[in-house]
Structure 1
Amino acid sequence: MRYDSIFRPGLFEGRSIIVTGGGSGIGRCTAHELAALGAHVALVGRKPAKLDAVVAEIAEAGGRATAHPCDIREEGPVGDTVAAILARHSRIDGLVNNAGGQFSAPLAKISQKGWETVVRTNLTGGFLMARECYNRWMADHGGAIVNIIADMWRSMPAMGHSGAARAGMLNFTETAAVEWGHAGVRVNAVAPGYIASSGLDNYPPEVRPMIRRLKTLVPLSRVGTESEVAAAIVFLLSDGAAFISGSCLRVDGAAPNARGNYPLPKGEPAPAFDGFHLASTPQVLSED
């Protein structure tokens, strides 16, 4: 079996695309879709075993991928990794800045170390990857960058460190689109809302009841799928988005538009798209 994409076969044939955080969740799903569409995918992440597992999955499905372990928070290793990808793939046509992470805590309980760790992961690392891809290849050849942020509109209580970093990444996206546009480099963002991804199982037990209630906050009456986020990423990387840059595409079922003074009408969940043949429901959502 292989990924069931809505995009035409061979869309990225001959192109090389980096996916950070490619060992799990949205990154893994996106890597599978890109490989199914002909891209040679370079997976970047901190855990070699997870990257190798996804490389094997992609190969079994008939695609091509390589693994490049790297802590994107460290400037030297990022430069070395991008250089190694260029040596292996000969080009970098796209970058999906997906790697990220955070933990749940109120602002008053977040230490400086905790704050800086999340900001370095969700903001600094994405900047370093984009800068190196631009300087080492895209400045002379063009390309497309998609930065994955989050639903941080109207604040992000209990995750203020991540909200600040994601908001910074949005501004970075807008700025890079202006500074790098002359080189034919498009820079956009995708903001996933509540998504049924493996990362949901990483939160502590006291957060799990809240996670199971997330679908009640969404006008479409459900959480999203990894495939729905991947489809947005793939579109922004494609030639169909050739005149889109400096934009952010929300994939959130209109959740940020809901207001406390308007109770959401109860209804059947809107139909979902799930083209990822290896997708599985997070355990926390199976406890309903």
Structure 2
Amino acid sequence: MSTTSSIQTIFRDHLFAGKSALITGGGTGIGLRCARELARLGAKVVLAGRTREKLEQAVAGISEQGGEAHAVVCNIREAEDIESGIAESIRLMGGLDLLVNNAGGQFPSPAEDIPRKGWNAVIDTNLTGTFFTTQEAFRQHMRSHGGAVVNIIADMWQGFPMMAHTGAARAGVDNLTKTLANEWGRHGIRINAVAPGIIETSGLERYDPMVRPFIEEAAKNNQTRRMGTEAEVAAAVTFLLSPAASYITGVTLRVDGGQSIFHPLCPPQGDGKMPVFEDTFDRVQDGSVP
């Protein structure tokens, strides 16, 4: 999907005018889609990630659509990067009202074959990096000014076969979301999470092509009988960051088409009749899927 194409949004114009948002892992995929929507709705955004080229391309796309965006190179596995990245984001935007912890990474592997180095890398990124990024945002700005945080996790409610490392990490973030919501509510901070199911996103391109058919088949185990879209995840994130969710904190919203409630007594059937929410107008109209 081009970074310069227009986006579909159900939210009113200028909803986030005067707000500043940091999106980790913001150069591609779901993170970029969230950043584009927040910028479209008036927020100043910082896209953080490890690859400057991708970040600058994403920023250029948002700028071409009239949004205000900045790039900050930051590896959330490094404490110094987190501290300096948060400080630079606040400097660029003049504050930090909204945080989307989207950065993450994993690789498919049977549990018995996951090496210690690979395990540590996934835990450090998905769990540890998420915690310390949020902690630094709290210390540098949100403790005094309040804010809203959304953590992106995953559908790991029935375990996560072939992804034991990220399943454990994302389950940790689910609990972390509840804990921080309890501890920091007194400071005017709301913290929630979004758990996407199988989403048609650029991240799938990194998997072995032989794995793709299995992913597509698994994506039929929900009531929509398809993969979700980046736009559908971004809409959920945008809602939780918005004033409409001002009475919601400490929850995880599952954006999975009902995959997490799959039951063998009533499996999904047919081609699925639920509409698709996507950026391409024709897809929205005819309900077709990627």
TM-score, length basis structure 2: 0.93
**Counterparts of 2:83 and 2:47 in 1: how far apart (Å)?**
15
**Counterparts of 2:267 and 2:6 in 1: how far apart (Å)?**
41
Indicate the residue corresponding to 2:253 in structure 1. Answer: 249
| Matches for 1:86-235 after TM superposition, within 5 Å | 86-235=90-239
| Alignment partner of 1:84 is 2:88 | yes
- The runs of at least 4 consecutive aligned structure 1 residues that moved more than 4 Å come to none
Indicate the residue corresponding to 2:9 in structure 1. Answer: 5
| TM superposition shift of 1:267 | 3.2
**Counterparts of 1:261 and 1:116 in 2: how far apart (Å)?**
38
| TM superposition shift of 1:269 | 4.2
**Counterparts of 2:168 and 2:81 in 1: how far apart (Å)?**
25
Indicate the residue corresponding to 1:268 in structure 2. Answer: 272
Tell me the SS of whatever aligns to 1:42.
Answer: strand
Question: Is 1:2–1:36's contact at 8 Å kept on the other side of the alignment?
Answer: no
Residue ranges of structure 2 left out of the alignment (5+ in a row): 284-288
Question: Is 1:140–1:183's contact at 8 Å kept on the other side of the alignment?
Answer: yes
Number of equivalent positions? 280
Shift in alpha-carbon separation, 1:139–1:32, aligned structure 2, 3 A: same
Question: Is 2:216–2:227's contact at 8 Å kept on the other side of the alignment?
Answer: no
Question: Is 2:221–2:267's contact at 8 Å kept on the other side of the alignment?
Answer: no
Output the amino acid matched with 1:146. Answer: V
| TM superposition shift of 1:216 | 2.0
**Counterparts of 2:185 and 2:102 in 1: how far apart (Å)?**
21
**Counterparts of 1:215 and 1:124 in 2: how far apart (Å)?**
29
Of the candidates 51, 57, 65, which is equivalent to residue 53 of structure 1?
57
Output the amino acid matched with 1:33. Answer: E
Tell me the SS of whatever aligns to 2:179.
Answer: helix
Output the amino acid matched with 1:18. Answer: L
Q: Which moved more, 1:259-268 or 1:67-76?
A: 259-268
| TM superposition shift of 1:264 | 2.4
Per-residue Cα deviation, 1:80-133 (whole angstroms, up to 9, x for no partner): 111111111110000000011100001100011000000111111111110011
Tell me the SS of whatever aligns to 2:220.
Answer: helix
Question: Is 1:222–1:270's contact at 8 Å kept on the other side of the alignment?
Answer: no
Indicate the residue corresponding to 2:35 in structure 1. Answer: 31
Identical amino acids, percent of aligned pairs: 48
**Counterparts of 2:267 and 2:188 in 1: how far apart (Å)?**
45
Output the amino acid matched with 1:215. Answer: A
